[in-house]
C-alpha cells in the first residue's frame, strides 16, 4: 500500500509528464502550422478516418511532411508502403512522386483499404497508388514473384510484431541506396530493459545489419514523442 509521500510523489511525477506532453504538442502544432499545413484532401482523409472509428495511429502532419521530404530527397519513383490504414501517410508519400511514379500500399483490413482508396481518389492520387489487400508477408511474396521491384523507398507502419519479418522480406525489393523507414520505433518500452516488443526487436535487427546505415530520429506527434528509424541500403563491405 502506498504511503502518503509515495502517493504525493507519484502525483507530482504524473503532473510533470502531463506538462511535458503539453509542451511537445505545442511544438508539434508550431512545426505543422509553419511547414506541414493540411490541405483539404489531408484534412478530409483524417476526418474520414475518425468518422469510420479507425484507430488514431496515423502519422502526424509534421511526420508526413518528413516522409514526403525524404522521398523527394532521393528522387523516389517507386514506393512500397506496408500498412495503409486510411491512406493519410500514403497521400504524403504519393505526392512526392513524379508524374510517372507509382506507390503500392499493403493493407490487411479490406474496410480500411476501401476508405484509403476513397481518400486517395479525393486527393487525385488514385492513378498513382495501388492498395493491395491481404497479409503483408503474402503480398510481399507476390510482389517479388511479379518482379515489382526495385523500389526506391519502403515505409513500414503496420503491426509491430511483424516488423522484422517485413524488413527481411522487403529488402530484396529495395534498390541499392534506397530508404527503409520504420515508424513508431521510439515508444516508452525501449527504455525498459525487461520489456520485450516487436519494436525493440526491429531496432536491434536494423542496428546489426551490415547492409543498412541507420539512425533513429525522434518525431513529434499530437500524443507526444515517437520515432522514425531511417535506413539506407548499402552493399556490405567484404570480410577480410
For the stretch 8-48, pLDDT in tens is 554 444 455 455 678 888 999 999 999 999 999 999 999 99
Q: Indicate the number of domains in the chain.
A: 1
In a domain, 166, yes or no: yes
The CATH number of residue 125's host domain is 3.40.50.150
Residue % of the chain over a pLDDT of 70 = 90
Q: What pLDDT score was predicted for residue 3?
A: 60
User: What is the mean pLDDT of the segment spanning 46-59?
Assistant: 93
Tell me the per-residue pLDDT of 147-202, one tens digit each, with 9 for 90 and over: 999 999 999 999 999 999 999 999 999 999 999 999 999 988 888 888 889 999 99
The answer to whether residue 238 sits within a structural domain is no
How would DSSP label each residue in 133-190?
ES-HHHHHHHHHHTT---EEEEEE-S-GGGHHHHHHHHGGGEEEEEEEEEES---GGG
Distance, in Å, from the CA atom of 121 to the CA atom of 216, rounded to the nearest integer, reads 33
Quick check: is 239 in a domain?
A: no
> How many angstroms from the chain centroid is the CA of residue 27?
20
- Structural domain contains residue 60: yes
Q: Does the residue 240 lie in any domain?
A: no
Mean pLDDT of 46-52: 95
pLDDT of residue 224: 76
Domain ranges, residue 65? 5-233
Is the residue at 44 inside a domain? yes
d(C-alpha 69, C-alpha 71), whole Å: 5
CA 87, CA 42: separation in Å to the nearest integer?
9
Chain-centre distance of CA 50, in angstroms? 19
Sign of CA pseudo-dihedral 133, 136, 141, 146: positive
User: What is the predicted pLDDT for the residue at 220?
Assistant: 84
Query: Is residue 17 a part of any domain in this protein?
Result: yes
Which pTM was predicted? 0.89
Amino acid at each position: 500500500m502506498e504511503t502518503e509521500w509515495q502517493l504525493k510523489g507519484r502525483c507530482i511525477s504524473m503532473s510533470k509528464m502531463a506538462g511535458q506532453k503539453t509542451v511537445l504538442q505545442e511544438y508539434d502544432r508550431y512545426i505543422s502550422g509553419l511547414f506541414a499545413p493540411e490541405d483539404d484532401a489531408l484534412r478530409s482523409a483524417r476526418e474520414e478516418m475518425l468518422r469510420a472509428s479507425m484507430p488514431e495511429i496515423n502519422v502526424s502532419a509534421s511526420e508526413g511532411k518528413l516522409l514526403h521530404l525524404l522521398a523527394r530527397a532521393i528522387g523516389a519513383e517507386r514506393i512500397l508502403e506496408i500498412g495503409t490504414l486510411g491512406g493519410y501517410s500514403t497521400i504524403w508519400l504519393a505526392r512526392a512522386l513524379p508524374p510517372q511514379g507509382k506507390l503500392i500500399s499493403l493493407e490487411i483490413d479490406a474496410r480500411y483499404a476501401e476508405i484509403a482508396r476513397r481518400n486517395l481518389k479525393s486527393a487525385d492520387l488514385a492513378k498513382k497508388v495501388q492498395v493491395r489487400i491481404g497479409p503483408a508477408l503474402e503480398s510481399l511474396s507476390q510482389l517479388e514473384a511479379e518482379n515489382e521491384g526495385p523500389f526506391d523507398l519502403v515505409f513500414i507502419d503496420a503491426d509491430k510484431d511483424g516488423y522484422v519479418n517485413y524488413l527481411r522480406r522487403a529488402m530484396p525489393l529495395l534498390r541499392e541506396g534506397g530508404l527503409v523507414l520504420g515508424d513508431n520505433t521510439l515508444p516508452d518500452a525501449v527504455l525498459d530493459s525487461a520489456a520485450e516488443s516487436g519494436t525493440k526487436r526491429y531496432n536491434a535487427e536494423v542496428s546489426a545489419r551490415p547492409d543498412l546505415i541507420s539512425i533513429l530520429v525522434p518525431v513529434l506527434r499530437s500524443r507526444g514523442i515517437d520515432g522514425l528509424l531511417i535506413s539506407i541500403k548499402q552493399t556490405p563491405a567484404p570480410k577480410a
